Amino acid sequence: MKSYRKYMTSKIVWYVLTFVVALFLNFLLPRLIPGNPVSTIVSKITSGMADTNSIKRVYETFEKEFGLNKPIWEQFLIYVSNLLHGNMGTSFGQYPRKVTDILASSIVWTIGLQLPAIIVSWILGNVLGVLAAYIKKGFDKVLFPVFLFISCIPSFGFAIVLVWLFAVALKIAPASGGYAFDMIPSPTLSFFLSVLQHYQLPFWSIVLVGIGGQSLGMREMSIYELNADYVKYCRLLGLKDSKIVRYVFKNAVLPQITGLALSLGTMVGGALITEIVFSYPGLGSVLFNAIAAQDFPLISGCTLLITTGVLIANFVIDIVYGLIDPRIKVAQQE
Amino acid sequence: MAEKLLEVKNLKSVYKTRFNEKITAVDDVSFDLEDGKCLGIAGESGCGKSTLAMSVMGYYYPPLFYESGIVNISGIDITKIPYNQLRKEILGKEIAYIPQAAMNALNPTQRIINLIEDVMEEHISGITKKEIRKIAEDRFETLNLPKDVLQRYPIELSGGMKQRTVIAISTILNPKILIADEPTSALDVTSQKIVIKLLKDLIKRGFIKAMVFITHELPLLYNIADDIMVMYAGEIVESGEAEEVIFDPIHPYSNGLMNSIIVPEKGIKGKKLTVIPGAPPNLKYKLEGCRFFDRCLFAKDECKISEINMKYVNNRSYRCVLQVDELKEMYEDGKKPATT
Ligand SMILES: Nc1ncnc2c1ncn2[C@@H]1O[C@H](COP(=O)(O)OP(=O)(O)OP(=O)(O)O)[C@@H](O)[C@H]1O
Ligand SMILES: [Mg+2]
């Protein structure tokens, strides 16, 4: 128990260090993109203004507000202290909206799309994977190449194929957006139905690609487990194959939990491309637009959210594994 | 005469490789096992001991295939019944198995008690978890195993403890026959002794009625077996009472094995079965005549010609063209096989 605490303490120290480094990079990297975002905003606001003096004053006001006239280390300190107060700054691109507001409204869409999709594809993928390994013969001969094919298609390519097939050719699903463009989000049935309709294509494109990769990994793991000595021993004890496959599933799926936790962690930024292809109003689209607009605070906000997600996911894996898998528990105690 | 619990007749099993080669790993093996007896099977690595064990239990999973022969367990020829009947009525209940590598035989993510629950629920309908726990605890106590092992994961047990636990699990349903495949090979001498004592205990207490003990370590066999079969390249080359086979072997192969063990010291201390120069033939090819020909110090031309059948002399049998007297004479002449 004592060594377990030592193990956890050293883990936590590493996670905190990683977070600090990530925080700094989050802040620094967007600012290394060449170009000046303020002039973009200013030129938008001042279009039609002729007076160079007032344009200059507008420019200076903005530069001061965003703190861009200060040295970069001072900017970083301000950034961190604001962050501690829950303030991520003001968006350049969607001025004067607060970064936190933008993130809060878009993350609902992202999680709503991704969480069910990831879980559904994880469960289906793993069940299909273990079945393919166990049944072999016909089932495996068909499923394996299909999974391999699907998992090799880049997700945006797959999304585009789905759009073409269901939205353009068959016209049975809308091609883009999170809801009909003439609607305002409200708690009504028609809005809900519209959301559901728009949900289908992005959802299934994530699910299918996910199943492909997931089931391939699971199939490998299960084949390995099925050849383990304990399978033979259990059969010789007269246990049913259905029971033994359950043992195999449990042992093979435990390592897959890492994959699940990681995809949940990267969830917030993970479906970037799917969201862009479907113009889905989630975090991916926001990040994409923020990069295009050189919106430093918004980019930093998005990436900070993603980083935190990944770190938390990893941390949870580390703790949970020790509890559910005796093989790891022993390794942790050594 | 005691009741025959197990009757194996002309059993033949083959491995089919990916290149469609047939490896006959068990070739025309016959033997009986009577109530109360322990049969020892000895032979070099790769001679087909484990394959014989699998075949006797009806465990035919690719690449291993049944070819011909009979395996009678309690009057049922298990090679003729559907797998589901074999699984439900025979495996674990009539005949049980202790695997060669008991170290990996347990599912690493399952507590011992949960495996016992699954095994017992499978074979005894309507039994409750509470009853199972009681039975398991009693059995562990009787066999001098700590009860708290039941709540542990396999990874938390030492090698010797794991082996003893596997033995206890295999015999929890009081099977009539136990097949132990090199149950002590991976253990140190102290643990070996404990395991042998445990196995003898099982018979003494009536938890099992008879046992087949597979090994390549003769000293152990001397301690536990009533009868011994010597196996070579998939065939039985000699069988008889343990005492006789060890101290007065007939077949040149057995003679080679035993000689190398008994000669220097009186007694049979700590030597293993791997001292005859040369290697056994590849079972892939169709073998003509005596399979031991290439390594035999007494080989003659006639050994290579025809199929060599078992010869029966008194209570013993051996597979060689020469007569017992001829062989004995040659052993006496000091033409003993080298004991390198
Ligand atoms: N899966 C397999 N595929 C093909 N051939 C096999 C396979 N398993 C075993 N064999 C062959 O069958 C023969 C008998 O193997 P078996 O495992 O029964 O030997 P063994 O007497 O138990 O040896 P050991 O003392 O090393 O356990 C060997 O020659 C081996 O090469
Ligand atoms: Mg073996």
pLDDT value at position A8? 78
For position B189, what pLDDT does the model report? 86
**Domain contains B144:** no
The answer as to whether B121 is a domain residue is: no
In chain A, domain spans: 18-84, 99-333
User: Would the CB atoms of B122 and A238 count as touching at under 8 Å?
Assistant: yes
> For chain B, what is the HEC assignment?
CCCEEEEEEEEEEEEECCCCCEEEEEEEEEEEEECCCEEEEECCCCCCHHHHHHHHCCCCCCCEEEEEEEEEECCEECCCCCHHHHHHHHECCCEEEECCCHHHCCCCCCCHHHHHHHHHHHHCCCCCHHHHHHHHHHHHHHCCCCHHHHHCCHHHCCHHHHHHHHHHHHCCCCCCEEEEECCCCCCCHHHHHHHHHHHHHHHHCCCCCEEEEEECCHHHHHHHCCEEEEEECCEEEEEEEHHHHHHCCCCHHHHHHHHHHHCCCCCCCCCCCCCCCCCCCCCCCCCCCCCCHHHCCCCCHHHHCCCCCCEEECCEEECCCCCHHHHHHHHHCCCCCCCC
Q: Is residue B131 part of a domain?
A: no
A64–B contact, CB cutoff 8 A: no
User: In angstroms, what is the span from residue A295 Cα to ligand 2's centroid?
Assistant: 69
pLDDT, position A77: 86
- Do B71 and B50 meet the contact criterion of CB atoms below 8 Å apart? no
Q: For position A334, what pLDDT does the model report?
A: 53
Query: String of b and e for B174-184 (b: at least 16 CB within 10 Å)?
Result: ebbbbbbbbbb
Q: Assign domain A99-333 to its CATH superfamily.
A: MetI-like (1.10.3720.10)
The percentage of chain A sitting over the pLDDT mark of 70, rounded to a whole number, equals 91
pLDDT in tens, A267-322: 766 677 888 888 888 888 888 888 888 888 888 888 888 888 888 888 887 777 76
Give A187-238 pLDDT, tens digit per residue. Answer: 788 888 888 888 888 898 888 888 888 888 899 999 999 999 999 999 999 9
Q: Is residue B118 part of a domain?
A: no
Q: Which residues face B72 on adjacent strands?
A: B7, B77
Closest CA–CA distance from residue A232 to any residue of chain B (Å): 8
pLDDT of residue A32: 78
**DSSP code of residue A98:** B
Would you give per-residue pLDDT tens digits along chain B (340 residues)?
678 999 999 999 999 988 888 999 999 999 999 999 999 999 988 999 999 999 999 999 989 999 999 999 988 999 999 999 999 999 999 999 999 877 789 999 999 999 999 999 999 999 999 999 999 999 999 999 999 999 999 989 998 999 999 999 999 999 999 999 999 888 888 888 999 999 999 999 999 999 999 998 776 788 899 999 999 999 999 999 999 998 889 999 988 887 655 444 444 544 444 467 888 888 888 888 899 988 888 888 888 877 888 999 888 999 998 898 888 888 877 654 444 3
Instruction: Print the domain residue range for B105.
Output: 4-109+153-332
Q: Which of B51, B118, B153 to mutate to test the interface with A (most CBs of A within 10 A)?
A: B118
Contact (CB, 8 A) for A274 and A202:
yes
Q: What is the CATH number of the domain that holds B302?
A: 3.40.50.300
Q: How far is the CA of B50 from the centre of ligand 2 (A)?
A: 4
Residue A208 is predicted with a pLDDT of 87
Is the ipTM above a cut-off of 0.95? no
* Residues 306-325 of chain A whose Cβ lies under 8 A from any Cβ of chain B: 325
Report the candidate in B252, B203, B169, B195 with the shortest Cα–Cα distance to residue B33.
B203
Residues in chain B with CB shorter than 8 Å from the CB of A235 are 59, 61, 87, 91
Q: What residue spans of A67-188 are helical by DSSP H?
A: 72-84, 99-135, 137-152, 155-162
For residue B206, the model assigns a pLDDT of: 94
- Whole-angstrom distance, CA of residue A281 vs CA of residue B242: 82
Total domains in chain B come to 1
- From chain A, the residues in CB contact with B62 under 8 A are none
Answer yes or no: do B87 and A238 touch at CB < 8 A: yes
> Would the CB of B23 count as within 6 Å of ligand 1?
yes
Contact criterion met (CB < 8 Å) for A330 and B155: yes
- Nearest CA to A236 among B133, B127, B151, B78? B78
- Identify whether B202 is part of a domain: yes
The answer to whether position B16 is within a domain reads: yes
Place of tokens 């008991």: B102
B235 falls within a domain = yes
Domain-located, residue B176: yes
B→A interface, C-beta within 8 Å? 57, 59, 61, 87-88, 90-93, 96-97, 99, 101, 104-110, 115, 118-119, 122-123, 153, 155-156, 166, 169-170
Give per-residue pLDDT as tens, A247-270.
999 999 888 887 888 788 777 666
pLDDT of residue B27: 93
Rounded to a whole number, what is the distance in angstroms from the first to the last CA of chain A?
10
Mutate to test the interface with B, among A234, A236, A239 (most CBs of B within 10 A): A236
Mean pLDDT of chain A: 83
Express each pLDDT in A64-117 by its tens digit: 766 777 788 888 888 888 888 888 878 877 777 888 889 888 888 888 998 999
